[in-house]
A and B are shown apart, each in its own frame.
Chain A
Amino acid sequence: MIHVKSLFGILFAAVIVLSIAAPAAMAESTVPLPSPAKAFKGKQCVEPADVMRREHMNFLKHQRDETVREGIRGNKYSLQQCIDCHATADPKIQNGEVRTLQPFCGACHTYAAVNIDCFACHNPTAPLETSGASKNIEFDKMIAAHLGQGNPDQTSKNAGGAQ
């Protein structure tokens, strides 16, 4: 029979060894840092990049409740807006015929190995030709009119460059 005491001893020793060895092993990582794709349009995001990097998940989580549960449209953190700016074309995805969020969101999330649930339901693609998030030009115009942005083909005030 294995004695419990010696089992604990082995586990304890393993923990000590690993916690000393691990940082050393990690010092030289061969995995390149992620480089998310530059946004399709705009100079600057609705928040500064470092704020977005840390807080985007909280903005999205709060925003989704405002949209679905309270029926608030056209907010600062509207997901349609995110897709509109950040979806880019990638030759590996459908021959570059659509813009998707994969080159942007996917880059960092793959690096950090954080699974995101959004795109099981939300379509992450946007058409190439128009800058509208939906494939429906009339609908985009309605949304833009509703948001008080005028013609959505012009760069809107709060859209901007990504990095």
Chain B
Amino acid sequence: MTFDAAKRHLLTGAAAVVGMAIAPGVTLIAPAQARKAGEPASDKVRWGLLIDANKCDAGCDDCVVACRTENGWQGHDRPTTDPQWIRKVNLKDNKTGATVSLPVMCQHCENPPCVDVCPTGASMRRADGIVLVDKHICIGCRYCMMACPYKARSFVHEDTTGQKPYMPRGKGTVESCTLCAHRIDIGGTPACVEACGAKAGKEAMMFGDLNDPDSDISKELSKRASTRLRADLGLEPGVHYRGL
């Protein structure tokens, strides 16, 4: 289904993953060590993404398709109300005409306005930096959707069936990108990153621990300047962009 052949290297019993081959000669160091059963997420880690818009094709939406398949948010041919956890945004500079394309999803901010405004505390930030909706106590008021500067959240406008067992979702609650917490927690990477990396020459998306100076993502971020969306708001998003 969503796991390609290379992932089966992971499945030989070991819970901790050190490295995996995804194509001949290309190795990605798996960024996540699976947490042991019963161990909570910790703030020693901060998960983040680095997206290189220079490598992102305007016509490609592999990340979107992967997310949709992985998490089961299908459309109902009603684009205004259908959920969209991640979307490709095409930009054109007003003055110069230069174009750039990039995926936008929940930015997993350090100071998320969606968490501030949620009356019940359903919109929450996990200790390891992932911003989630605790759908058990979401009352569907949509205030978080008003508050998000990135339009990251979607409201479930209709009955849902056929949910993935690791991604419950239901009518009347709000949802958004979970950074594939269900994958990260057992040592995987988000579906979008994996799909982008799966095609040779892509790898516009990188995932890793921003708190670890030795992680691939931290080393990449220190090499060249990157930016974050609406950095002026001081929200400290966990998603970094290059090429903007």
Contact = CB atoms under 8 A, between A and B. Distances in A.
CB–CB under 8 A between A and B in the complex? yes
Contacts of A93: none
B37 A146 contact: yes
Contacts of B124: 69
Interface residues of A, number: 32
A107 interface: no
Interface stretch (B20-28, B84-92, B132-140, B144-152): B132-140
Contacts of A138: 1, 3, 7-8, 11
A139 B186 CA distance: 10
B38 interface: yes
Interface in B156-187: 160-166, 168-173, 181, 185-187
Given A70-B41, A71-B35, A73-B186, A136 B2 contact: yes
B188 interface: yes
A122 interface: yes
B37 A71 contact: no
A41 to B, nearest CB: 17
B195 to A, nearest CB: 16
Interface of B: 1-3, 7-8, 10-11, 13-15, 34-35, 37-41, 124, 126-128, 130, 132, 134-136, 160-166, 168-173, 181, 185-188
Given A72-B39, A136-B2, A147-B37, 8 more contacts: A74-B38, A75-B38, A120-B171, A133-B165, A134-B166, A139-B3, A146-B187, A150-B13
